Structure 1
Amino acid sequence: MKIGILGSGLMGSKLGLLWARCGHDVTFSYSRSDAKLARLSQEAGAAHGSVADAVQGADAVLLSVHWSNVADVLDRAGDMAGQIVLNCCVPLDDSNTDLVVGTTTSGAEELANMRPDTRWVSCFNTVPSEAFLPVFERREDSPRPQVLTYGDDAGAKEVAGGLVRDVGFDPLEAGPLRTARFVEPFAMVTAELAYAQPGGPALTYRFDKLG
């Protein structure tokens, strides 16, 4: 699968690297440093280029930028009509302490309003990036940790679910895109547990129903 990475920070770089290790054709883009993109592509055996390069012909795109950069990266990406985009952004302020969108709408819904013809799926935004490599290394273990996955396009969610499984998680169906109104605040809880509480940031979760 051809995957474009829009935003090569902690989330995008780690997910792109792991998907490349799974055999996907990955293109990294959108970093403050061209040298970093070159290093990432060399490490992953992947490509790097402009946002337009990453989007062109991609079977799936990962949007993984700070909320303040969303408008810029979408301008560079174009309309992405019909493309599947996995969104792991949380709509945070510049200090990364407060949500700037929430409860009556969500960052995910705002993105869908900006690009209504794009096939949006939200996932990975409730798991710290520090967990990705340990989970990948234990991907044969069972039960697997989960990733909340939500959106309005069933086909897009199916593709996203496959990419979630490639990394070593199970996708946890969490309903339509409007679920983001409650998941994005939950991401703040997982951040508190990962970064402010003892035990280190490699936090995972699993929800089970008791029959």
Structure 2
Amino acid sequence: MRIGILGSGLMGAGLGRLWALCDHDVTFSYARSRHKLERLARESGSAQGTVAETVATSEVLLLAVHWSRIDDVLEQAGELDGKPVLNCCVPLNDRNSELVLGTTTSGAEELARRRPRAGWVSCFNTTPSESFAPVFARKGKAPAPQVLVCGDDPDAKTIAGGLIRDIGFTPLEAGRLRNARFIEPFAMATAELAYAQPGGPALTYRFEKLRG
């Protein structure tokens, strides 16, 4: 699958590298320097390009930028008509200390309003990037850790589920995109557990329904 990465920080770079190892055709775009994109592409055997080029040539996109960069990346990306877009952005302030949207809307819903003809799927935003490599290394061992997934486009969610499994996680169905208004605050809880509590940042989770 041709995957375009819009954003080359810890989330975008981490997922892009692993998808490249799964033999997907990955293109990295949107970084503070062209040198960084060239290095990512070289190290992972992938491609790099402008945002517009990446959108045009990709079958599916990952949006992985800081919320303060959303306006800029969307302007460069265009309308995204018909594109499945996996969104792992959390609507945080510049200090990453507070949500700037919540309870009555969400970052995911705001993105869908701005690009309504894209197939938006919210995922990976409650999963620290430090967990990606160790989960990938244990891929295939049960039970797999989960990734919360919400969205309104069934086909886009199917694609997202496959890419989540490629990394070694299992998708956990969390309903419609409007549920992102409750999931995005949970990202603040996972960040607290990963970065402020003992044990290191490679945090994963599983929810289980008890029967009987």
Give the TM-score normalised by structure 1. 0.99
Report what 2:5 is aligned to. 5
**1:130-151 Cα deviation digits (max 9, x unpaired):** 0000000000211100000000
Report what 2:143 is aligned to. 143
Residue 57 of structure 1, CA deviation: 2.7
Matches within 5 A, 1:53-202: 53-202=53-202
| Separation (CA, whole Å) in 2 of partners of 1:206 and 1:102 | 24
**Pairwise CA RMSD:** 0.5
| Separation (CA, whole Å) in 2 of partners of 1:10 and 1:72 | 19
Q: What is the one-letter code of the residue matched to 1:158?
A: T
Aligned length: 211
Q: What is the one-letter code of the residue matched to 2:92?
A: L
Q: What is the one-letter code of the residue matched to 2:63?
A: L
Q: Secondary structure at the match of 1:61?
A: strand
Q: Secondary structure at the match of 2:57?
A: coil
Residue 154 of structure 1, CA deviation: 0.7
| Separation (CA, whole Å) in 1 of partners of 2:165 and 2:33 | 30
Q: What is the one-letter code of the residue matched to 1:94?
A: D
| Separation (CA, whole Å) in 2 of partners of 1:11 and 1:134 | 14
Q: Secondary structure at the match of 1:55?
A: helix
| Separation (CA, whole Å) in 2 of partners of 1:26 and 1:43 | 12
| Separation (CA, whole Å) in 2 of partners of 1:209 and 1:11 | 29
**1:21-75 Cα deviation digits (max 9, x unpaired):** 0000000000001111111001110000100111113111000000000010000
| Separation (CA, whole Å) in 2 of partners of 1:115 and 1:43 | 32
Report what 1:33 is aligned to. 33
Q: What is the one-letter code of the residue matched to 1:48?
A: Q
Q: Secondary structure at the match of 2:148?
A: strand
Q: Which consecutive segments of 4 or more residues in structure 1 shift more than 2 A?
A: none
Give the TM-score normalised by structure 2. 0.99
The percent identity for this pair of structures is 67
Q: Secondary structure at the match of 2:32?
A: coil
Where in structure 2 are there 5+ consecutive unaligned residues? Answer: none
Q: Secondary structure at the match of 1:162?
A: helix
Q: What is the one-letter code of the residue matched to 1:27?
A: T
| Separation (CA, whole Å) in 1 of partners of 2:106 and 2:169 | 24
Q: Secondary structure at the match of 2:61?
A: strand
